[in-house]
Amino acid sequence: MLLRTMDPNAHKKARLVNRLSREELLKKLENENFRRITLSFYKYVLIDDPNSLRDRLFSMWSRLNCLGRIYVAREGINAQMNVPEHHFDTFKKELYSIPEFENVPIKTAIQDDNKSFIKLTVKVRPKIVADGLDDNAFDVTNVGKHLSASEWNQMMTLPNVKIVDMRNFYESEIGHFEGAILPKAETFREELPEVLNLLKGNEDAPVLLYCTGGIRCEKASAYLKHHGFKHVHQLHGGIIDYYRQVKQENLENKFRGKNFVFDNRLGEQVSEEVIAHCHQCGKPCDTHRNCANKACNILFIQCDECAARFEGTCSKECQKVLHLPTEEQKKILQQVKQKKTFMRYRRWKPECS
């Protein structure tokens, strides 16, 4: 039976989403015989019609066989994606042809396994990073001074300097700058007031902010300046561009461990040190996984030995679920979805006996 719709463009809009299953997407990716370039970019800029731009970008990047996760809002764009190498020049040309994104800085991944994303998702959101702030309450354009990698290294040595990791705890757990303040927050929304509280009384001290690619520091630096911090700086291009500059200019690398990334890789090596621990046995490890029990799916750190012992799950309880009949597992997953009781991240707590 055909359903009627009042929207004459509904048939067109229906094509502007991915329709393949995860298994089909993975198979398609495995059969590719070309290299993909994983990249990210963002820009705070006024977008008059986010929905139209969303459809334009999806159509444009589908044609180029791009994959990734992109958020569009009235305040700008935040993109993490991969692009077929043979389409990269066309991708840049078409992106820069959009006036709002002309010459937007593009950062390429530190490490790339060609499988950072398996599908293309472009979504319209209220904000490109959920921060919980009322942007009308302060000047969001009054941001901190951007620092190159060389300038950053120099300022890290200043007396009374406050270095702040503007990422979530599970990101800084596997890698961070020496001497950085590491908030315990699980979201950027929670982190902003926590950082304000941690820095209270240091309004005259030099403050250095950093994050993955720089986007969170744009809002955080303006937020701190609004609250009276006089000397706020931010790492230009974040950890990703810091590593590029360190390599190009032969600078000392002051970052320790891995850089967490929000794609299938879940991390890229910035230094050889392993500063985190397996959440199950406590041995040095910085490999993030999602629990193999889909009704849990919690993000945690697990070494290869524990992955084998627990079959990729985060606990003995979740391991038991794996051995239930498929229909039982589906029922549990459905119950969890209905109750919305998903946990997101797991704190360090050894489980192996």
Residues serving a catalytic function are 211
Exposed / middle / buried, residue 352 (Cβ in 10 Å: 0-12, 13-18, 19+): middle
How far is 95 from 72, CA to CA, in rounded Å?
14
DSSP 204-264: TSEEEEE-SSSHHHHHHHHHHHHTT-SEEEEETTHHHHHHHHHHHHT----EEEEEP-SST
Whether the CB-CB separation of 205 and 125 falls below 8 Å is answered with: no
How far does CA 195 lie from the centroid of its chain? 19
Residue given tokens 């937020």 in the structure block = 223
17-21's contacts with Cβ under 8 Å and 24+ in sequence apart are 17/58, 18/119, 18/120, 18/121, 20/119
Q: Are strands 145-147 and 231-235 parallel, antiparallel or unpaired?
A: parallel
DSSP 134-145: -GGGS-TT-PPE
How far is 37 from 154, CA to CA, in rounded Å?
32
How far is 170 from 174, CA to CA, in rounded Å?
7
